[in-house]
Structures are given as structure tokens and as C-alpha cells.
Copies of this chain bind each other. A is one copy, B any other.
Amino acid sequence: MKTRERILATAEQLFALHGVAAVSNRRISEAAGQANNSVIAYHFGSRADLMRAIARPHNADIEQRRFALLAASGEPDTLPGWAGVLVRPITDHFAALGPQSWYARFAAQASTDPALRAVLTEEALATPSTQLTLREIRLRTPALPPVVQRQRTDMTRLLVVHICAEQERARHDGTADATWEETAEALIDALTGLWMASMR
């Protein structure tokens, strides 16, 4: 593994386990077997750039899986169908990574970091396939005012990020009582209900 890749893998794991703010560049470089602490700044620039570099290959794989799903099955007609287009590429990505994956916990940690949360949220939500999918979901809930659609988009993001993080942790610890496929089905059902809920 090259230095750059070793730093990325080490940082992802340490951030996932301890939280982003709790892990210094010194700790990452030491754990990655680098004598020189400036190696992270040299390869990645700022902390936000390091976070983006960790997220990029994951988002790219999820993006590729979502377009492959749309190409194979065609665009669905229903809200549950689009919830599946949103969720399955993500859970399939984690299933493919196996029990040693860290990225779901990394994303959950990053999403509660006050300074860095915007970086990753924007990266993940800005991908063309995510934008397309959220637009199709909103098109199927035309009775909801824009502010409610925005609230439910926030809820969708929170549920997917944190349920995947809990599932990843449980699989890593050997305490999971669900497969990634079952997690996908639970999320799709719940998100369908959440989006179809009427307002009082």
C-alpha cells in the first residue's frame, strides 16, 4: 500500500473509532507508520481535504452502483421504488466492504462534527444520482410544502447515516441481528412511511 493510501485507511479507521476532533494528525501519521507528522499536510492539505479524500472513493462507488441499478431495472414508478434507489447502493456498498468496513461510522462521526459536517453532507448529497433520486421522491410527494420536504430530506439523511453506522458497528462486533439486505429493507419501509405521512 502506498503512503497516501495507508494514511487514508488509517485516518478513516481512527476517525470512525474515536471521532474526528479527537484524532490528531500526529496520531494518524504515527499509526500509519510515518515518522514525519507533516506527511498528512503534504499529501492532503487541510483536515477538510483529508475528509473529502476519505469520502471520495466511497461516494464514487455508491454513485456507480446507483446508476448501474437504474440502468438494469429502469426508473421505478413508485415512492418505495425510489427509496430503494436511494438506499440499496449504499447498503450494497457496505455489504461489499465486509465486516472490516469503517466508513459508515466515519460518516456518522463526521456528520456530528460541528466544523466538518457541512463538508461531507454536501459531498454526499451533491452527487448527480443522489440529486436525481431526491428530486424523484419529492415529485411523488407533491402535497408536502417545500419546508416539510426539506425536513424529511434531513430526516432521510440522518436515518440512513446513523442506521448504517449502527449496523456496521454491530457487524464488526459480531452482535448484528440483521444482514445488510435486511437493513436496506427496514430503511426502505421506514422511509416510505416517513415520506407518505400526512401532516396534521
Contacts and interface: CB of A to CB of B under 8 A. Distances in A.
Contacts of A155: 159, 163, 190
B147 A154 contact: no
Contacts of A22: 19, 21-22
Contacts of A18: 21, 114
State the number of copies, please.
Answer: 2
Interface in A58-113: 80, 105, 108-109, 112-113
Sorting the interface of chain A by its residue count into under 10, 10 to 19, 20 to 34 or 35 or more gives: 35 or more
A196 interface: yes
Contact of A195 (B19, B113, B185, B193): B193
A1 interface: no
Nearest to A166: B154
9 contacts: A19-B112, A21-B21, A22-B22, A105-B114, A151-B163, A152-B190, A192-B197, A194-B194, A196-B197
